[in-house]
């Protein structure tokens, strides 16, 4: 709760940086290599956590994880901030849209292109968790209306906010200007924009995937009805390159109920390193730091 409160406080601060353009990350020839680069940002007057997260296209939670010893709520000019723009690809088909809930990221792989676009997202809150799935886009909607469920209307009413049966398109619509309905279930899950960008990078929706307005507008123009969508929940990502170097990228694992997942780590992907003499406690310590960036943990024979 302290972390969430800190993030919410930071997101209420003014954004001082212009929004960055959407740019792809080239996929390396060796798919076991990390993608992208770590960026070191030197803070300027007026910089905030919210501004940096939106400008670089990274969840504020990941920025905080990558800077565990720094108070990002009180940035001073000259402070150096690690921006975690280097990552390992999730274990999923490099096709269409891939969403990794644990890292609050959406990956888009254009067809027949050796590159990937990566975006921060908001996901389902505690009790309304976004489910894992393999599905596709079933409907594309520009300037959508929103039909809140009875449960959602009750939740808003408890806060003193009455909702109509149908919320028209416009600035009060939480779906924003673009929405892509998923074929999963009864179609209740969407990838959409938002009229409140402060929700991006947090677990705050009723199960839908929220994106910054500029990001969802771009993505909406790239995909079509039928585009494949896979949603995974991988708190620990592991890859080994052609030289036998093994990297791990660790995020805080959460259960759908919001509790820290205390189950033992699945170390099966790292068995060759343990067999090669790497101390298990050392490996577990590196993983437990949950720095949200790829860490080189060892090398096996190749």
Active site residues: 192, 208
- R_g (Cα) of the chain, nearest Å: 20
**Collapsing DSSP states into helix, strand and coil, what is residue 281?**
helix
* Residue 143, phi then psi, degrees to nearest 5: 50, 60
Residue 43 burial (10 A CB sphere; 0-12, 13-18, 19+) = middle
Positive or negative, the CA dihedral 111, 114, 118, 123 is positive
Tell me the CA distances in angstroms from 198 to 14, 16, 54, 158, 266, one per residue in order.
11, 14, 10, 21, 34
Pairing of strands 80-83, 35-36: unpaired
Question: How many Cβ atoms sit within 10 Å of the Cβ of residue 99?
Answer: 25
Helices 49-56 and 2-11 pack at an angle, to 10 degrees, of 80
Count, residues in the chain:
302
């Amino acid at each position: 709760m302290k972390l969430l409160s800190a993030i919410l406080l930071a997101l209420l601060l003014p954004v001082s940086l212009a929004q960055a353009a959407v740019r792809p990350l080239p996929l390396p020839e060796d798919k076991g290599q990390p993608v992208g680069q770590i960026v070191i940002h030197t803070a300027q007057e007026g910089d905030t956590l919210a501004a940096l997260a939106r400008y670089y296209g990274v969840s504020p939670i990941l920025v905080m994880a990558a800077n565990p010893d720094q108070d990002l709520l009180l940035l001073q000019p000259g402070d150096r901030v690690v921006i975690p723009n280097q990552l390992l690809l999730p274990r999923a088909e490099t096709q269409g849209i891939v969403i990794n809930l644990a890292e609050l990221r959406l990956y888009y792989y254009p067809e027949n292109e050796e590159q990937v676009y990566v975006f921060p997202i908001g996901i389902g809150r505690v009790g309304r968790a976004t489910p894992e799935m393999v599905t596709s886009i079933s409907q594309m909607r520009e300037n959508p209306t929103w039909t809140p469920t009875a449960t959602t209307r009750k939740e808003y009413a408890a806060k003193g906010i009455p909702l109509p049966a149908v919320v028209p398109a416009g600035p009060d619509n939480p779906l924003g200007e673009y929405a892509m309905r998923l074929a999963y279930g009864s179609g209740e899950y969407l990838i959409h924009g938002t009229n409140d960008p402060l929700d991006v990078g947090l677990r705050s929706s009723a199960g839908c995937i929220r994106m910054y307005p500029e990001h969802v507008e771009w993505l909406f123009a790239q995909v079509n009805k039928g585009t494949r969508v896979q949603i995974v929940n991988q708190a620990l990502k592991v890859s080994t390159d052609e030289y036998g170097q093994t990297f791990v990228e660790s995020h805080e694992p959460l259960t759908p109920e919001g509790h820290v997942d205390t189950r033992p780590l699945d170390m099966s992907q790292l068995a060759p390193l343990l067999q090669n003499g790497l101390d298990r406690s050392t490996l577990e310590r590196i993983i437990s730091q949950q720095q949200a960036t790829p860490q080189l943990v060892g090398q096996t024979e190749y």
